[in-house]
Amino acid sequence: MKAVQFVEHGGPAVIEYADAPAPTVGRDEVRVDVKAAALNHLDVWTRRGLPGIDLDLPHTPGSDAAGVVREVGADVTRFEPGDHVAVTAGVSCGDCEFCRHGEPSMCVSYHILGEHVPGVHAEEVAVPEANLVPVPDDVDWTVAGSASLVFGTAWRMLVDRADLGPEESVLVLGASGGVGHAAVQIADHLGAAVFATASTDAKLDHAVDCGADHAIDYTAVDFAGEVRDLTDGRGVDVVVDHVGAETWGDSLKSLAKGGRLVTCGATTGPNPETDVNRIFWNQLEVIGSTMATPGQFDDVLDLVWDGTFEPRIRETLPMSETARAHELLENREGFGKVVVVPDSER
C-alpha cells in the first residue's frame, strides 16, 4: 500500500507518497480503507519538527480520516466489516485519574495520532476501536474525513470549557482555518453574537456565511479596537484564540470584565507577553482546552452528520499531492479544510 511519509523534518518538499507496509490489526484495533483524510496545522508542525517530540522516521502524519472497515481485531465489539467510520485522534491510557473521571484529553499519557505516533494519511490504517466513530452511509467522505478534530476541538472549547451562553458574545480569531470556521458555526448555533477575524474579503464573506455577525479584517484595523467600537466599549464575553503570541495581548484587550479567553493552540508561538494587571483587574479567565471527550465528539459529530454544521472544503487533492496540501495551509490560501484522497480512490 501507499502512505504519506517524511523521512526528515523540513519544508513541504520532504513529503513523499511512498510504499509502506500494510497495517497489522491488534486485538482491539480496526483496519480501515481510507476514503478521505483532512489536514490540520498540526501536520505542518509535525513535519517541521515539534520541539520535545522525537518521532520514529519515516513518519506518516495525519489526524483526520474516514473510510470503510475491512477487518476487526478479536476484541472489537462496536464495528464490523463494511461499516463507515471516522477517526478521532486522541489516545489516552484509560486508567489514570482523568480517564476514570471522563476527561481522557487530560490523560497523563495523552497523545495524538499523527503527532506523537504514526497517523492516518495512508491508503489503509489500523487504529484502536476507541478512536473510531460511526458515520451514516449517506455522509460524503470529504465531510466525514475532515470534521472530527476541528469540530470536536471547537465544541469542547465553547460548550464545555468556556460555557458560552446564548445571550453572550464571542470573538473567533482566524475564522478561515479549521478550528476557526468550526467555532463560528458552533457559536452561532449556541445563539451567541459572533465576531470573527480573517485577512481577505473572500474569507470574511465565508465567515459571515458560516454565521458571523461581524467580520473584521485584522490586516486593515486593530481588531481589539474594532471589537470595543462594535460593543460600545464593553468587549466580548469569550475570545477563541489559537494563534498565540501574535494576538494574545489584543485578545485580552477584547474581553469584557469577567470575560474568558479559551485557547487550544499557539500558531505564532507559545510564549506571548501578557498583561497580568489586565487579567486580575478585569477578573478575566484564561482557559486551556485540548481535543474532546468521546461524548463531546458524539454530540458535535451528530450535528455534522445531520447537516447542522458543515466542514467547508477549500480544496481536495490526491494524496500524491500532499506536499501541495501542506503549502495551502502554510500560505493560508483559502477558507476551511484541505482534504487528500488516496490516489487509488480517484
156-185 average pLDDT score: 97
**Range with the lowest mean pLDDT among 45-54, 165-174, 200-209, 327-336?**
45-54
- The pLDDT confidence band at residue 122, using thresholds 50, 70 and 90, is very high
Segment 213-248, tens digit of pLDDT: 999 999 999 999 999 999 999 999 999 999 888 899
Same domain, 166 and 239: yes
Return the pLDDT at 12.
Answer: 96
| 332 has pLDDT over 90 | no
Residues 159 and 284 in one domain: yes
pLDDT of residue 323: 97
Q: Are residues 71 and 118 in the same domain?
A: yes
Query: How large is the average pLDDT for residues 122-137?
Result: 97
Tell me the CATH number at 95. Answer: 3.90.180.10
Percentage, residues of the chain above pLDDT 90: 88
Q: In this structure, is residue 256 part of a structural domain?
A: yes
The mean per-residue pLDDT over the stretch 100-125 comes to: 93
Q: Report which of 223, 261, 31 is spatially closest to residue 125, judged by C-alpha positions.
A: 31
Check whether residue 218 and residue 83 sit in a common domain: no
Kindly state whether residue 30 falls inside one of the protein's structural domains. yes
pLDDT band, residue 152 (cuts 50/70/90): very high
What's the pLDDT band for 268 if we cut at 50, 70, 90?
A: confident
Mean per-residue pLDDT over the chain, rounded: 95
Range of the domain at 243: 151-288
Do 159 and 278 sit in the same domain of this protein?
yes
Q: Based on the domain organization, do 122 and 219 belong to the same domain?
A: no
How much is the pLDDT for 50? 80
Q: Grid coordinates in use for 260?
A: 474568558
pLDDT at 190: 98
Residue 302 resides in a domain: no
Same structural domain, 209 and 248? yes
b/e burial code for range 154-191 (CB count within 10 A of at least 16 → b) = bbbbbbbbbebeeebbbbbbbbbbbbbbbbbbbbbbee
Backbone angles phi, psi at 133, to 5 degrees: -125, 145
Same domain, 119 and 207: no
Q: What is the mean pLDDT of residues 202-210?
A: 96
Return the pLDDT at 51.
74
The count of domains in the chain is 2
Say if residue 282 is exposed, middle or buried (CB neighbours under 10 Å; 0-12, 13-18, 19+): middle
Q: What does the pLDDT look like over 25-60, one tens digit per residue?
A: 999 999 999 999 999 999 999 999 987 778 889 999
Predicted local distance difference test score (pLDDT) of residue 265: 86
Using 50, 70 and 90 to split pLDDT, how confident is the model at 8?
very high
Q: Give the pLDDT confidence score for residue 247 in this predicted structure.
A: 92
When pLDDT is cut at 50, 70 and 90, the band that residue 296 belongs to is: very high
CB 15 within 8 A of CB 4: yes
Residue that wins the pLDDT comparison between 279 and 270: 279
pLDDT value of residue 94: 87
Q: How far apart are CA 157 and CA 151, in angstroms?
A: 10
